[in-house]
Structure 1
Amino acid sequence: MATWKLPLDVIIDILIRLPGKSLLRFRCISKSFRSLIDSKDFINLHLSRSIKTSSNRSLVICSDLDYNLKTRFHSLSLDSLGGGDDDGSIIDLRVNEMFDIIIGSCNGLLALKNYPKGIILLNPLTKKHRVLPKFYRDLHGDKPSLHGFGYDVGSDDYKLVRIHVFKSPVYHIEATVYGLKVNLWRRIKNIKNFPYSWADHSYGGNGAFVNGALHWLANQNQDEMINDLILAFDLNIETFYSMPMPGFGNEGGGGELSGVYVLKGCLSLLCKYSEPWDLWVMKEYGVKDSWSKLFTMNENGYRVIPLAFSSRGDKVLFQKNSKDLCWYHLDMHRVESFLVKGPSDVHVCVDTLVSPFAETNSLTMGNAITEFSMAGFSVFPTFFEIKNWEWADFVNRNELEKVKDQ
C-alpha cells in the first residue's frame, strides 16, 4: 500500500479546502482528525477561506407550512444552481416548533424567530441548535421591531439585537442585545435623543451585517412613511450611527429605498423607481464616494431582493416577489429564471462547523498538532479512496505529489 507522510500544515491546507459535509465525515477517520477538525482554530481557518473564495455557500430556503403546521427548510448549494441538477435537501431542525422568519445568517449560523416562544440559533450543516432565553420582558412597540444578528470581533461573540419604538408617553426607543457567551438579554442604556425612526412597511426589518455592524433602512422623521437613510449599529461599542448615502439625489429622482443588503461582504442598497431597480454597492465601508451603481434592472415586481454574486462574479442571484429565484447576468443585462419556486424567505449561509454554543471545544489546534505528532500520522490513499471520494479525487489527480514538491 502506498503511503505518504505529509507535514501537518499540508494536511490542514488540504482539509480547509473541502466542503463542510466532507469534514463531518472526516471526523470519523481517527481521534487525531476529530480533534483537529473540532478545534476552534481550524474552524476559523475553514470559515475564513470559504468567505474569501466565495465557496461552500448554500441557500437556506424557508417554505410554507406543511400539514403538521411546521415551516419546511431546504438547503440548496449555490454552486449547483447553474446546472440545476441539485434540488437540495430538507434540513431537519429537530425542534418541534413553527418559525416565522429567518432573522439573519452569520458565519454559518442562522437565527430563527418563533412567535411567541423566542429565537433559536441553528447550524444547518451540523444540525446543532440552541434555544435562546426569552426576552427579559415582552415588548409591543408602535412600529414593527428591527432585528439583527452578527459577530463582534472585539469580544469574539455572536450578538442578536432587537429594537422597539414607542411614541407615548414620550417618543423613545428600547434596544436589547443578546450575547452568546453570557447567554443573556440586556438592555442598552443611555440611548437619549434618538433621532431615527422607520416606515411601518419597511422590508429592512432584519439587519444587514457588514463590517462589524448591523444596518437597516430608516428616516429622521417620527411620522415619515418613506425611508431615506441607512441606520447602523456597531456591535462592539454598541452605538447607533447613520451611513453616508449614494449621490443619486433621492429627493428629486422619485426613487424609493427598497432594502439594504450584503453582497460579497459589501453593503448594498436597492432603490426602486416606477419601473426599474438600481442596485448600489459601497465598495469601501463608510466612504461616501465609494458608492457605485452596479446595474439597473427593468424587472416587474413589487419586491426584489439581491442575495449573492455567483462564484465567477458575473451574475447576481436575487429573489423576486418573495417566491421566484433568478440570476441577473451583469454582462448581458438579462434575467434568467430557474426551477426553484415558492420560497417565502431565502438566506445565504456558509457551510461551516461553527457551533451555536459558546462553550466550544477546549482543544486548540496546537493540542491537535501534538496529537498528530505523537500518532505519527500517515496518509493512506487507498483508505481514503474507500471512505471519501473527495480525498480520492485529490489523490488520483496526483495533487499530493505536487504539494509534496512545493
Structure 2
Amino acid sequence: MPLDVIFEILVWLPAKSALRFKCICKEWYNLINSPTFIKLHLNKSLKPNSQHDCMLLWITSSTLCGVDDLYQPDKETKLNWPKDTVNDGDSVYFVGSCNGLVCFKIIRGREFPDYGIRRFLICNPTIRTFKSILPAMEMKWTHNIISCGFGYDSVHDDYKIVVTSCSLGVTNKYVFTYSLNTDLWSCSSTPTRVPTGRNWTINNSEAIYGNNNMLNYLVVSSEIEDLASDDYRIARYDVVSEKWRDDLSIPPVQVSKFHHFVQLEKLNGLLYLHVADVRVRSNEFWMMEEHDGSWKKMFTIPGDLYLHHLIARSKDGHRLLLIQYFHSERTLLFWYDQRDNTRTPFKLAETMPKDIGLYKLCIASLVAIPGGCSLTKLQQLEDGA
C-alpha cells in the first residue's frame, strides 16, 4: 500500500492506536513522528465531533491519574511525578491544557520559608513526557496573589506560561511570560484593558485558554458592596503579542456578591459561564459563541444539582458529565441526561480528590513538548502500586 494512503488511514486513528502502530516498521515510526502527521492528527482531534480520545485527568498527592477515553472509562492510568519535582509538603495544581499538553504548578507548603511556586511542569500524558520549568528569579510571589495561564501561540507555534497579579486595573501590572521555544522568561508592564478607574480582582484562580490565542480572566470589581453583571468583565491577554486586548462583558444575568457563584470555564473549545444562585438553588450555563463576545444561554439544570461542576458534554450533546462539590468523604461524578433527567454513575478510583480544581479535561495528542533538552519520560505505575 502506498505510504500516502497509509498516512490518510493512520491520521484518523486515536492517539493511543497511532502510538501502537509506530512499532510496525521504521517507515511507519518516522511517518507518525513527523510534524506534518502530528499537526494534521491534532487538527482532527480538535474538531467538535471528533472520534479521537478525550482524557479526564486528576491529581492525587503522589500521582497524576486519568482515563484514556472519557466515553469508555474502562482503564485508569497512574503516572508517578518526575523525580525531584514534587517534595513532601508540596501541592500540585492544574494551570491549564491545550493541544494535549497540560501545565501544572507546584506550590511549596506554608510551613516552609520559601512558600510559593517552586516550579512548573509541562506534560503530555499521552506520550508520557514532561518538562520541568523553574520560575524567573525576579518573581517575588506567593500563590495567593498571582494567577497563571497556559496557552498556545499559533503564529510562532509556541506554548507559553503567563503569570500575572490577581489585582488588575488602576495601575500597570507586571506580566511574566515563559516561552517553551526559547526556554526563557520575559517581563512586560503593559496595562490591562479592563475599564479604567476601578480596581479589579481575578475571580477565577487560573486563566482559561480560548483556542484563539487568548487567555481569558473573569474579573470582578473589588470596590462594590453588592454586584451586578456590569461589575464582572472578561479580561483577555494575547499570548502572541503578549499584550492585553479589549475586555468583554458577561451575559445580562442577575448576580449578587453574597448569593451567587460565577465561574468561567471552557467546553468543546468555547468559553462558558456558570452562574449558580444560592437562594433558589439554580444553575445557568451560558456559552460564548465564536469568541466574539456574544452569549447564548445553553441550559439550566435542576435545583437538586445545585453547585455541581460541569466537566464535559457527550458527543451527542444530550448528556453532561457533572462533578459534585462535596459528598461525604469522596467525590461523585455522573452523566446527567437532560432528556429524561436520569443520572448514570461515572465509576472511578476511590482515591479521587474532593477538590474540583484537581480535575482537567484534555485531548489525547501526539504533540511533542518544545525544548527537548529537559524532557524526561514519565513512569507509569503498575496496578496495585
Tell whether the structures are fold-level matches, with TM greater than 0.5: yes
| CA drift at 1:146 | 1.2
The one of 234, 246, 255 equivalent to 2:251 is 246
| CA drift at 1:104 | 0.8
1:275-314 matches, cutoff 5 A = 275-288=281-294, 291-300=295-304, 303-314=307-318
| CA drift at 1:347 | 0.7
**Contact residue 327 and residue 336 of structure 1 kept, 8 A:** yes
The one of 58, 61, 64 equivalent to 1:61 is 58
Instruction: Measure, in 1, the Cα distance between the counterparts of 2:297 and 2:45.
Output: 27
What one-letter code is carried by the residue in structure 2 that aligns with 1:26? F
Tell me, which stretches of 5 or more residues in structure 2 are unaligned? 108-116, 374-385
| CA drift at 1:47 | 0.8
Q: 1:192 to 1:212 in 2, by over 3 A?
A: closer
| CA drift at 1:142 | 9.8
Instruction: Measure, in 1, the Cα distance between the counterparts of 2:226 and 2:106.
Output: 28
The one of 261, 266, 269 equivalent to 1:265 is 269
1:125 lines up with 2:122 in the alignment: no
Partner of 1:318: 322
More strand by share: 2
Partner of 1:332: 340
**Contact residue 118 and residue 134 of structure 2 kept, 8 A:** no
Instruction: Measure, in 2, the Cα distance between the counterparts of 1:321 and 1:101.
Output: 17
Q: Deviations over 1:345-386 (max 9, x none)?
A: 1111111111112459xxxxxxxxxxxxxxxxxxxxxxxxxx
Compare CA radii of gyration and give the structure with the larger one. Answer: 1
Q: Deviations over 1:239-286 (max 9, x none)?
A: 2231132133446x9863521111111110000112011011112211
1:6-405 matches, cutoff 5 A = 7-52=2-47, 53-54=49-50, 55-63=52-60, 65=61, 70-81=62-73, 86-98=74-86, 99-115=91-107, 116-140=117-141, 144-165=145-166, 172-191=172-191, 195=196, 198-199=200-201, 202=203, 204-210=204-210, 211-221=212-222, 228-240=232-244, 241-250=246-255, 256-274=260-278, 275-288=281-294, 291-300=295-304, 303-321=307-325, 323-340=331-348, 342-343=352-353, 344=355, 345-358=358-371
What one-letter code is carried by the residue in structure 2 that aligns with 1:100? V
Instruction: Measure, in 1, the Cα distance between the counterparts of 2:300 and 2:193.
Output: 38
Instruction: Measure, in 2, the Cα distance between the counterparts of 1:101 and 1:352.
Output: 21
What one-letter code is carried by the residue in structure 1 that aligns with 2:58? I
What one-letter code is carried by the residue in structure 1 that aligns with 2:320? V
Instruction: Measure, in 2, the Cα distance between the counterparts of 1:95 and 1:225.
Output: 48
Q: 1:142 to 1:223 in 2, by over 3 A?
A: farther
**Paired residue total:** 339
**Contact residue 193 and residue 247 of structure 2 kept, 8 A:** no
Instruction: Measure, in 1, the Cα distance between the counterparts of 2:318 and 2:259.
Output: 26
What one-letter code is carried by the residue in structure 2 that aligns with 1:327? W
| CA drift at 1:130 | 0.7
Instruction: Measure, in 1, the Cα distance between the counterparts of 2:321 and 2:208.
Output: 17
Instruction: Measure, in 1, the Cα distance between the counterparts of 2:177 and 2:225.
Output: 26
Q: 1:9 to 1:295 in 2, by over 3 A?
A: same
Q: Deviations over 1:127-147 (max 9, x none)?
A: 111111322323236953211
Instruction: Measure, in 2, the Cα distance between the counterparts of 1:334 and 1:320.
Output: 15
Partner of 2:112: none
**Contact residue 199 and residue 224 of structure 1 kept, 8 A:** no
Tell me, which stretches of 5 or more residues in structure 1 are unaligned? 361-406
**Contact residue 104 and residue 122 of structure 2 kept, 8 A:** yes
**Contact residue 56 and residue 359 of structure 2 kept, 8 A:** yes
Instruction: Measure, in 2, the Cα distance between the counterparts of 1:197 and 1:328.
Output: 39
Q: 1:47 to 1:31 in 2, by over 3 A?
A: same
Instruction: Measure, in 2, the Cα distance between the counterparts of 1:311 and 1:26.
Output: 26
